[in-house]
Amino acid sequence: MPKSDTASAAVTHDLPPEIFKAYDIRGIVGKTLTPSIVEVIGQALGSEARGQNQKRFVIGRDGRLSGPELVAALSRGIARSGCDVVDIGMVPTPVVYFAIHHLGAGSGVAVTGSHNPPEYNGLKMVLAGETLSGQAIQELRARLMANEIVRGQGKITQLDVRSAYIDRIVGETLASNWAMLSLARKAGAVVAGFAETAVEFGGIDILVNSAGIAGPTAAVTELKLEDWHRTIAINLNGTFFTNRAVVPHMVAQNYGRIVNIASIAGKEGNPNAVPYSAAKAGVIGLTKAVAKEVATQGVLVNAVAPAVIETPILSQVSAEHIAYMTSRIPMGRVGKPEEVAALVAFLCSPDLTFSTGAVYDISGGRATY
């Protein structure tokens, strides 16, 4: 049965109700979210867990400076309820969810401010395999206010699960593509790279897909099959691989900005550039489809469709083709890399809030639709 805890009761008098949000507990560090508040929340969460026969928690944090102190307080509170804590350190939120399953813990907390300003931090909670939200979070607050706290003494340990997470992600990617082993190896390499990046830096907020090749300059009847496959593989498959790998990380943190570099050729088609035009049209369709899938999950996905830009890729095409593309531009010149960069920077910024699945032209007036 729950027992009264005098220290917990004292803190609940200063417990701000506004930190108990719909999907997490979140507040301003040092003001509405202090270590003492987080500690009693931890004890209440552990008490709730004990009532559901849960006795082990996984805790991970993002890279915010307040994270270590709040994790320590949360761990103390959970341990005071009699539950054990496994601290997996600074990791992306998906790694916390992985560790809960991988370690058979059943419950866990990601200490993360998500996309909020740096003065914020918060708790995303899983209890007995279910993410706490809505009424369940309010019931946790009610337990605190009623001081229905269980006391005990759990253990706090540290464990690094990053290698196990990367191995699992890469293994699943390879297994799901066994019939196309070469493609799966490439996809697996991309997934591994993103997983390692997310683990190293505590998350991934921005993805810009800008790698590509021009492909051959030739009529469709003169194209070699290998040139078609190579252009599609780099320009379209590469964009698919990176979007597929990064979206789970962004969805888990409820924030992300993806910019896929397409081309005016993907909208209008350039003669003697069939593989390139087809690949970039595919990038536009992919962008619109992915954007709709994640539109309500904090992830905005857009494409940029430049006309000819003064970059090294021009060395891959003939002077005649460059002249043709430039002749289609009303402003009468090629674009500059910094002009594209300025547009991409905006699309990657928090200032972008209500645009997704769009194609932003930067074509000197060539495209007007």
pTM exceeds cut of 0.75:
no
Alpha helices in 206-360 (DSSP H): 225-232, 238-253, 264-268, 274-293, 319-327, 337-347
Answer whether 280's CB lies under 8 Å from 215's CB. Answer: no
Asked if residue 115 and residue 226 are part of one domain, the reply reads no
Q: Say if 276 falls within a structural domain.
A: yes
Asked if residue 308 and residue 215 are part of one domain, the reply reads yes
Task: Of 173, 8, 161, 178, give the one whose Cα is nearest residue 77.
Answer: 8
Q: What is the pLDDT of residues 204-236, one digit of tens each?
A: 889 999 888 888 889 999 999 889 998 998 899
Asked if residue 230 and residue 185 are part of one domain, the reply reads no
Cβ-based burial of 218 (10 A; exposed 0-12, middle 13-18, buried ≥19): middle
Residue 296's domain spans which residues?
Answer: 204-362
Q: Say if 244 falls within a structural domain.
A: yes
pLDDT at 213: 87
Q: What is the pLDDT of residues 46-82, one digit of tens each?
A: 999 999 999 999 999 988 889 999 999 999 999 999 9
Asked if residue 309 and residue 347 are part of one domain, the reply reads yes
Q: Say if 100 falls within a structural domain.
A: yes
276 tagged catalytic: yes
Separation between Cα atoms, residue 308 and residue 367, nearest integer Å: 12
pLDDT at 349: 92
Number of domains composing the chain: 3
Answer whether 287's CB lies under 8 Å from 301's CB. Answer: yes
Q: Within the chain, which residues score under 50 in pLDDT? A: 1-4, 174-185
Task: Report the phi/psi class of residue 340: left, alpha or beta, with left for phi > 0 and alpha for psi in -120 to 50.
Answer: alpha
Asked if residue 295 and residue 334 are part of one domain, the reply reads yes
Token couple for 54: 């849960």
Residue of 97, 165, 255, 276 with catalytic role:
276
pLDDT at 44: 96
CATH of the domain at 127: 3.40.120.10
Q: Say if 140 falls within a structural domain.
A: yes
pLDDT at 180: 40
pLDDT at 249: 82
Asked if residue 212 and residue 70 are part of one domain, the reply reads no
Start-to-end C-alpha separation, the chain = 67
Token couple for 120: 């914020």
Strand partners of residue 123: 25, 111
Token couple for 133: 């939200």
pLDDT at 246: 87
Q: Say if 369 falls within a structural domain.
A: no
Task: Of 63, 79, 45, 227, give the one whose Cα is nearest residue 156.
Answer: 79
Asked if residue 321 and residue 277 are part of one domain, the reply reads yes
Q: Say if 269 falls within a structural domain.
A: yes
CATH of the domain at 357: 3.40.50.720
